[in-house]
Amino acid sequence: MAKRRKTRRQHKLIAFKAFDDTDQDILDWWEGIEEGERSSTIRELIREHLNGHSGNHRCSQKTVSEPEVVPMMELARVRDDTTWIREALHDMPAYLEQVIQTVAAMQPAMATAGGVISLQPEPALSTQIRTEREANMRKKTW
């Protein structure tokens, strides 16, 4: 008895280039997919895009509210902004110290320029006002 020859499925090879300098994120993702699963993963992604949603590609309508996919450019901007904020917060103590030193250095210059600076320490608040404020603070519940 002769063996039947299995017919091959018709196919087209779809390929594209990914460059090391501009597409490293895509290349990292590609290398993270197991060999043998790459074609099916690409098919699923394309079908999801064609169906207009990122959920189960087999459903024809979007039934469940799903989060939108954030484009890579926006993620890169968020990363850059976060880095800038982190660096600014890191530099802030040194900046504030410099401002305080500058203001402190200006104080003697104001005294010689005719500014009124009292050498006798005066209480900022009268004793009565101070005791009233202390009593109010004791009443407060934080």
Scan for tokens 């009292």, then name that residue.
118
Over residues 6-26, the mean pLDDT reads: 88
- DSSP assignment letter at 3: P
State whether residue 55 is helix, strand or coil.
coil
Contact by Cβ (8 Å): 16, 27: no
Q: What is the pLDDT of residues 95-135, one digit of tens each?
A: 899 898 888 877 765 555 555 555 556 666 788 888 888 88
CB atoms within 10 A of CB 48: 16
